[in-house]
């Protein structure tokens, strides 16, 4: 069972994972994931869990600091747009 290791905030966040399976939560607000965030999932199977229920837009610019994340869980969102 994956463990929650962090929750993003509107500010710049740094979250570094381990070799375990882990979850990083992205809350409802549209400014919680930003280009200033540093997210390294480490080993294991790591998930960015998006809690946003409204339309979700993910762009390459927002993911510049994201590495070693194997899954984006966007099931809470009614519409998802990913532009890479």
**DSSP classification of residue 61:** G
DSSP per residue, 16-30: E--SS-EEEEE-SST
CA–CA separation, 72 and 24 (whole Å): 10
pLDDT of residue 8: 97
Which residues, given as ranges, of the chain have pLDDT below 50? none
Check: CB of residue 51 under 8 Å from CB of residue 77.
Answer: no
Closest CA to 6 of 29, 27, 35: 27
pTM assigned to the model: 0.93
pLDDT of residue 1: 85
pLDDT of residue 84: 87
């Amino acid at each position: 069972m994956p463990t929650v290791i962090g929750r993003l905030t509107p500010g710049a966040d740094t979250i570094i994972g381990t070799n375990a399976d882990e979850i990083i939560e992205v809350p409802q607000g549209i400014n919680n994931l930003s280009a200033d965030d540093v997210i390294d999932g480490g080993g294991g199977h790591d998930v960015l869990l998006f809690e946003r229920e409204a339309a979700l837009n993910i762009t390459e610019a927002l993911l510049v600091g994201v590495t070693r994340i194997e899954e984006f869980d966007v099931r809470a969102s009614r519409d998802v747009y990913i532009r890479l």
